[in-house]
Structure 1
Amino acid sequence: MNIVILSRNPELYSTRRLVEEAEKRNHFVEIIDPLKCDIIIEKEKPSIYYKDRYLDYVDAIIPRIGASVTFYGCAVVRQFEEMGVFTIASSEAILRSRDKLKSLQRLSKAGIGMPKTVFTNYSRDVEEVIEHVGGTPVIIKLLEGTQGLGVVLAESKNAAESVLEAFNGLQARVIVQEFIKEAKGADLRALVVDGKVVGAMKRQGKEGEFRSNLHRGGSANIIKLNSDELKLAMNAAKVLKLPVCGVDMLQSERGPLLLEVNSTPGLEGIEAATEKNIARAIITFIERSK
């Protein structure tokens, strides 16, 4: 097969691993920067032009679209879809997962457990917002944040009020969530491929850090998920229509609680923690789907 990885950085671990595993299985693989693609819209003949050629020979794509280029990146994915090319994540599913509010609304309706969450339109009544999620401490998140950026722990009402006022002043959209104390700065990442969990790790934030992101100095270890955690991960992927994704959740006294679903999960941390070949699982999923 001719497989294209849509990525702006060919040196990223995830991109390199996908190339490596695809080539081992005798596929032709290209890494293409989606921002350098021209989308040509013509009656009954959608096409994509890249550098000096038309990409009319592609069988499958693997989108590795960064959050900062979501709009154009998804436009390129959508054009490949119009051309009949298989993708491991549809443009609509990527957009849906990037919209934290929309995805939480969908997941909540589907009966998936999550921390109590409030979204408000620049509300000045901070006290009421805090009461909705059970009081302080609370987590305040930018709707567009990634890798733990734009996430603040407000331990008191005064702190929460200051943070919300600062974000309001910047006209930044935020959600407020209850703080799950018993999680102790750790979360779980389940990697789903073709509707099944192929690897899971527990990420622990460094001492004094409530965020567990590996990019922020956290550590990761392999973990065996219980039946409720497996069910949550697989259901979340199904609800958002993402055959390949990372599902982040917290362990709480009332069972697993979903944090978010990542449509382009990194492979480095989970392959290192689990010693499982996640990249190969993704390539074999493409083979089964074509």
Structure 2
Amino acid sequence: MNIVILSRNAELYSTNRLIVEGEKRGHQIEVIDPLKCDIIIEKEKPTIFYKNRYLDYVDAIIPRIGASVTFYGCAVVRQFEMMNVFTIVTSDAIQRSRDKLRSLQRLSKAGIGMPKTVFTNYSRDVEEVIAHVGGTPVIIKLLEGTQGLGVVLAETKNAAESVLEAFNGLQARVIVQEFIKEANGADLRALIVDGQVVGAMKRQGKEGEFRSNLHRGGSANIIKLDPAELKLAINAAAALKLPVCGVDMLQSSRGPLLLEVNSTPGLEGIEGATGKNIAKNIITFIERNAKK
């Protein structure tokens, strides 16, 4: 098959692993920068033009769309969909997952457990917002933040007020969540492929750091999820219609709680921690579903 990876950098670990595993299985793998694609909209013949050629030979795509290029990246994915090309995640699903508020609303309706969360439109009544999530400490997150950026732990009421006022002044939209103390700066990442958990790790933040992101110096180890954690991960992926994704959750005294669902999860941390060949799982998922 002709498989295209939509990525801006072929040297990234995740992109490179997908190339290696795809070629091992006899496929033609090509890395294409979605920002350099021209979308040609024409009656009954949608096409994509890239580097002096039409991409009319593609059987499947693997979107590796960064958060900063979501709009145009999803437009390219959507165009491939119009061309009846198989994609491991749809443009709509990527956009749903990138909108933290929208995805949390959808997940809440699906009965997924999560920390108490409040969204407000630049409210000046900070005390009320904090009270809704059970008081301080609280987590304050930018709606557009990724990899732990734009996430603040406010340990006191004064700190929370200062942070919210600062974000309000910048007209930055945020959500406020209860702080799950018993998680001890750790979270779980479950990697979903074809609706099943194919690997899971526990990420621990470095000393004094409440964020467990590996990009921020955290560590990761393989973990076996319990039945409740498995159920949450699979149900969350299904609720957002993401057959391939990373599901992040916290261990709490009231069971697992969802943090977020990542539509383009990195493979380096999960493969390193678990020893599992996640890239191969993704390629075989394409083989089972794409039209040859």
What are the equivalent positions in structure 2 for 1:200-211 lying under 5 Å apart?
A: 200-211=200-211
The runs of 4+ residues in structure 1 deviating greater than 3 Å are: none
Q: Which runs of 5 or more structure 1 residues have no equivalent in the other structure? A: none
Question: How big is the shift at 1:92?
Answer: 0.1
1:100 positional shift: 0.2
Q: What residue number does 1:44 align with?
A: 44
Task: Return the alpha-carbon distance in structure 1 between the equivalents of residues 111 and 26 of structure 2.
Answer: 42
Aligned CA RMSD, in angstroms, stands at 0.3
Q: Which residue of structure 1 aligns with residue 271 of structure 2? A: 271
Q: Which residue in the other structure is 1:280 paired with?
A: 280
Q: What is the CA distance between 1:137 and its match in structure 2?
A: 0.1
For 1:51 and 1:158, locate their aligned partners in 2 and report how far apart those are by CA, in whole Å: 54
Amino acid corresponding to residue 263 of structure 1 in structure 2 = S
SS in 1 for 2:96: helix
Matches within 5 A, 1:130-209: 130-209=130-209
Look up the SS of the partner of 1:221 in the other structure: strand
**Counterpart of 1:241 in 2: which secondary structure?**
coil
Q: Deviations over 1:72-111 (max 9, x none)?
A: 0000000000000000000000000000000000000000
**Aligned pair count?**
290
How far off is 1:123 after superposition? Answer: 0.4
Q: Deviations over 1:187-237 (max 9, x none)?
A: 000000000000000000000000000000000000000000000000000
For 2:227, the equivalent position in structure 1 comes to 227
Letter in 2 for 1:245: C
Letter in 1 for 2:80: F
Q: 2:7 aligns to what?
A: 7
Could you tell me how far apart the structure 1 residues matched to 2:103 and 2:181 are? 24
Equivalent position SS for 1:145: coil
Could you tell me the TM-score, scaled by structure 2's length? 0.99
The aligned residue for residue 214 of structure 2 is 214
State the alpha-carbon separation in 2 of the partners of residues 9 and 168 from structure 1: 35
Aligned-partner Cα distance in 1 for 2:181–2:45: 55
Aligned-residue offset at 1:285: 0.2
Q: CA offsets per residue over residues 126-165 of structure 1, 9 Å max, x none?
A: 0000000000000000000000000000000000000000
Measured in 1, the distance between the counterparts of 2:75 and 2:169 equals 32
Question: CA separation in 1, counterparts of 2:140 and 2:114?
Answer: 15
Deviation at 1:247, TM superposition (A): 0.1
SS in 2 for 1:238: helix
Q: How far apart in 2 are the matches of 1:64 and 1:75?
A: 13
Aligned counterparts, 1:63-74, within 5 A? 63-74=63-74
TM-score by structure 1 length?
1.00
Aligned match of 1:92:
92
What is the DSSP-based 3-state SS (H/G/I as helix, E as strand, rest coil) of the residue aligned with 1:276?
coil
Equivalent pairs: percent with the same residue?
87
